[in-house]
Amino acid sequence: MSEISTRRFGAPMCVAFALLTLQLAGPPGSLAQAVALDLNGRTIDSPEPLMDAALLLEARYAKPVTYEDPVWQWRGDAYVAGHDENAPMSLALKNRQLFLPDRLTPAETSLLDAALVGRVLDAYHSQNAADTHYKVTTSRLGLHIIPTQFHNASGQLVPAGTLLDAYIRVPEGRRMASDHLQALRDAVTASAGTSLEGSGNDRWLDNFYAAGGLVPPKFATKVLTKEEQEPYSFVWGASTMTARDALLSLLDSSATTLSWRLLCQPSAKQRDRFCVLNVVPLQVPAIAADGNPLLDAAGKPKMRSVSYDRLREPPKSIPRPAPAP
């Protein structure tokens, strides 16, 4: 992928807040990344400020707030970041600014609900009236920011949807969580005609999902045989339903509360447009035993991944058999 796509798609937490860098605790190369996220800031200036706002609310309230892009079509939503605007990956979304409303902290508003997210959307729409419009919906998982209007290729504001609105069917099968997710993506690609891809963070999904309370070895789908994957596999499939409902169904059995980001790459040519679905754990401030935020060596707050919050007891692991002599 290009530098642009890596920045937007390679890591779900690579967002564009300025001012304060938070270090995420976690395994190298996965979620342990420097993130420009200002927990106390009021202004967001980024290509997807509502995604950043969703991350901020998740960090403050430890509750999922998912975000979805439309499949961008209008040239006016993007700028040329490469040498040839007609080449794949040569366009990037323009920055938008969002000045957040007040009372978006648990100390001021105890409940994160659709009304609170709706105030953020109202602020965004009033400040960016000519841009994409969004709605908030609720589910058993949490809250969801979904586009309702966007600019078509001619620049007209028309009803919008996302790839997760596609109706799909996933044949029932016994797989690991990451393989189920890939089967869902494949079904969306086939139904919608626009490629839905994964990200590098998929390699950690099986560990956070911990099917049946069992944590597989790292990179289990790569290092384990099909027989060794069996204890970490489970039966799942989706009858004809929207991809969003199928994704909710898949995440129901996760040992960790998971959220998602659906991000799309603009391109001058329809065949070069694609989206990436990141499914990730919540990121919240790391708190010390005395109740104060943990700080790194530079005095900056640390973040941690919420893990196994749906289990009543710690997850278990199965030792791998020793290799034959």
Angle (CA) 104-263-127 rounded to 5° is 45
Distance, in Å, from the CA atom of 315 to the CA atom of 126, rounded to the nearest integer, reads 46
pTM: 0.88
Model confidence pLDDT, tens digit, residues 79-111:
999 888 999 889 999 999 999 999 999 999 999
**Percent of the chain scoring above 70 in pLDDT:** 86
Whether 319 is in a domain gets the answer no
Model confidence pLDDT, tens digit, residues 171-215:
999 999 999 999 999 999 999 999 999 987 788 999 999 999 999
Within 13 A of 13's CA, how many CA atoms are on the CB side? Answer: 28
Whether 148 is in a domain gets the answer yes
Task: Show the domain range for 37.
Answer: 3-305
- Give, as one character, the DSSP assignment of residue 294: P
Distance, in Å, from the CA atom of 10 to the CA atom of 63, rounded to the nearest integer, reads 23
Give the dihedral of Cα atoms 101, 107, 111, 117; nearest 10 deg.
Answer: 20
Strands (DSSP E) contained in the chain are: 21-24, 34-36, 43-46, 65-68, 78-80, 91-93, 96-99, 133-138, 143-151, 157-159, 167-175, 195-197, 234-242, 258-265, 274-281, 283-285, 302-305
Whether 320 is in a domain gets the answer no
Whether 324 is in a domain gets the answer no
In the chain, how many domains are there?
Answer: 1
